[in-house]
Structure 1
């Protein structure tokens, strides 16, 4: 079944949708390669972001819970794009952000709109606050943390609410999170910047480890 450009299979694996995305963007990359000799690095990058990456990110919060092996296909597309953009030259650091990083920023921003901004059409995404009978240092470090439903199903653990409830709680417990975040005094753009910096620092530390 195809709804608004997203293909849903009977098991909600989103494999057919991702494979179709890979085929579509492969054709777009071929076109970019053919005209790359006419453009410098900056213009190739701009064209990729506008015409190809936008396709890779369309409605990504709907299918972002797909299996890592399926998502990895899209990462290969971006790596091919990087080779075309830089064409053997030294790649500038931070030129193209990781696709998963961008999906996480978008997901947490949507969560922020639902939990803090109380955006009406996102009410169904709102999660209840965590209730705890024992006051521990971990609980004290995460004021306003949300309840995370336990699940033994890997498929369920990859779904939007599960993934971003965990990330939201980690953000609240981090040193990057302002104490007034849950009081709706942080602007949307400032929140995006905060999340981008926090996720970047987390990934940098994971890379070093």
Structure 2
């Protein structure tokens, strides 16, 4: 929560630079009946069950992204039905390209935001891809396609962002940068990965699935397979991660 001084600076800056719309400012909380009333620019903020920000829906129930993923599934299912109706007009390659551009892209919008959702919710997206594979292959189940596992693609994207945070030190991602692990005693693991990052302590599995805890742990595992000095660019890193990732999961 913002301090009183930070809140006043934000309001002052807003009046000088932009015009804040209080009707577009929402409050979402897991507290059933919040006792504290929050005001923004003099107007009371009322709690809502869900809020959509830049295409991502946040719901108040444990912030589990169930509502957002269900919305994605409905949208992708409608597009998949359209692909099925015109599949007889296209060959295997055409159906695959259409799926990747029009359907899979919907299921991969902002995945690092909701990628820590429960597995039972993410499995809904895998079912869409399983149905798409049957449509792409058509009557010949022996057809081959280049559809990668959705979780694998999300993990590659997450580790690539970690590379940009830790190695390239992109300014707008500076707040996500993690410190190097503090060495209290020397072990074989420490000697093998001296540049490992400090892993945040999380008591619940809900928070262990979120971006920083999950990909900090995976980043440390990647470093044990791939020394930092052999990586020269983002593309080089992505290529190596795609090969290594199946061995560390």
Task: Output the TM-score relative to the length of structure 2.
Answer: 0.77
Structure with the larger RCO, 1 or 2 (CA within 8 Å, 6+ apart):
1
Alignment counterpart, residue 172 of structure 1, candidates 191, 198, 223: 223
Distance change in 2, residues 1:30/1:194 (3 Å): same
Partner in structure 2 of residue 153 of structure 1: 204
Distance change in 2, residues 1:96/1:89 (3 Å): same
1:46-61 alignment runs, 5 A limit: 46-61=97-112
Where in structure 1 are there 5+ consecutive unaligned residues? 204-209
Equivalent residue pairs, number: 198
Structure 2: how far apart are the matches of 1:99 and 1:26?
Answer: 16
Distance change in 2, residues 1:92/1:145 (3 Å): farther
Structure 1: how far apart are the matches of 2:76 and 2:161?
Answer: 26
Deviation at 1:178, TM superposition (A): 2.9
Where in structure 2 are there 5+ consecutive unaligned residues? 1-50
Structure 1: how far apart are the matches of 2:84 and 2:214?
Answer: 36
The worse-fitting range, judged by mean Cα deviation, of 87-96 and 15-24 is 87-96
1:117-128 alignment runs, 5 A limit: 117-128=168-179
Distance change in 2, residues 1:132/1:202 (3 Å): closer
Q: What's the C-alpha RMSD, in Å, of the aligned pairs?
A: 1.4
Alignment counterpart, residue 6 of structure 1, candidates 43, 56, 76: 56
In structure 2, the residue corresponding to 1:130 is in which secondary structure?
Answer: coil
> CA deviation digits over 1:83-134, x for unaligned, max 9?
0000132345561000000000000000000001000011111111100121
The 8 Å contact of residues 176 and 212 in structure 2, kept in 1 or not, is answered as: yes
Structure 2: how far apart are the matches of 1:93 and 1:85?
Answer: 9
The 8 Å contact of residues 41 and 85 in structure 1, kept in 2 or not, is answered as: yes
Which of 1 and 2 has greater Rg? Answer: 2
Deviation at 1:70, TM superposition (A): 0.4
1:135 aligns to 2:186 (yes or no): yes
Structure 2: how far apart are the matches of 1:162 and 1:89?
Answer: 43
Task: Output the TM-score relative to the length of structure 1.
Answer: 0.91
